[in-house]
Amino acid sequence: MIIALSLLLILIAIILLITLAIIDFRTYYLPNIYVFPFAAAGILFHLATKAALLSPIFIIAGALVGFLSLYVIRLVANHYYKKDTLGLGDVKLMGAAGIWLGLDGILLALTIGAIAGMIHGVIYGLYLKHKHKKPVNFGQLNIPAGPGFIIGIFLASIPLYKNFVLNMIATIFNI
């Protein structure tokens, strides 16, 4: 039962992250109705597995670092640019991801996510330059941050969850 529940929670998390990426691409918004269940699934997963993959301290530290690091960046950037630069949905998403990834994993997810966002911005800027045949002001380019961070979450989760998932599947199918 615990095996099936833990795999179901991972599947729910994957579906929620894909849903969030699609919504953010279309609307530049990460709704709480999907971010909070992603966080709750992480808490339930760690309860169901008795924190087999991460200690409670690392889970809490991951959530705090994920949330606070982006919240501070948001405060500083909003002050500097005098407008909203990073949505609270992105901040909450990375706090929720910290529950799943712990301290080390959230730092990796933030780094990969920032790089993925930068690559997305450069590609989108070059596309706009080609489309409009004029230079693009990359300082004013507006792209959703969530999809980049979600790529970071997925990639950072592989080393943490790969063996667990493979072992659970092997257990279910008696391999």
Give 137's pLDDT tier (boundaries 50, 70, 90).
Answer: confident
- 175 has a pLDDT exceeding 80: no
Give the mean pLDDT of 54-80. Answer: 97
Give the mean pLDDT of 150-154. Answer: 98
Task: Name the average pLDDT for the chain.
Answer: 95
* Number of domains the chain is built from: 1
CA angle 130, 133, 137 (to 5 degrees): 85
Range of the domain at 101: 2-172
The number of beta carbons lying within 10 Å of the beta carbon of residue 162 is 10
Give the mean pLDDT of 54-68. Answer: 98
- pLDDT tens string 16-51: 999 999 999 999 999 999 999 999 999 999 999 999
